[in-house]
Chain A
């Protein structure tokens, strides 16, 4: 049974560019959450999607947007990249209050 799959694993972007990160949830999970983890810090909640709607949002600017598809997979989009957006982006899936399963993350470097 595959867990949470994220792609790509690494990427490098230039300031001002846009990036899309992808996440396939664990089989049977219907809720997807995104977290940003800066170096040396704990993960910070970006937003959560359920039934293709954004259900909760953390303290992130509108440059961060997302989408959930009918098959529960999700995308995270970041526009106008800043150097400070360099981080590990983690996707987590869940079903009701069963607990989160995290993916291995996408390492984004903005230069």
Chain B
């Protein structure tokens, strides 16, 4: 099945730094979801996006639905050690269909 391209694959940053990651597809999506997954646990939904150009925040996290409808971006401001984990993007085409997932961006934060 199709998968989304997430980049970077991994990031090593210092506590307090800002983080940016993205997710791209060759197809147009009308839904983008961002999840965080900690080791040995299920993904937790962070932000959902439904409209091209939409910018949505959840605390220090901000995600954007790309205007081309083929990409989405996630930013984390002032990172803290508990931000460590794998960030997964997921997209859906149309209103009938299943989610397609990226392989994730692994974030490591040095105190």
Are A and B co-members of a single complex?
no
Residues in B lying within 8 Å of A, measured CB to CB: none
Residues in A lying within 8 Å of B, measured CB to CB: none
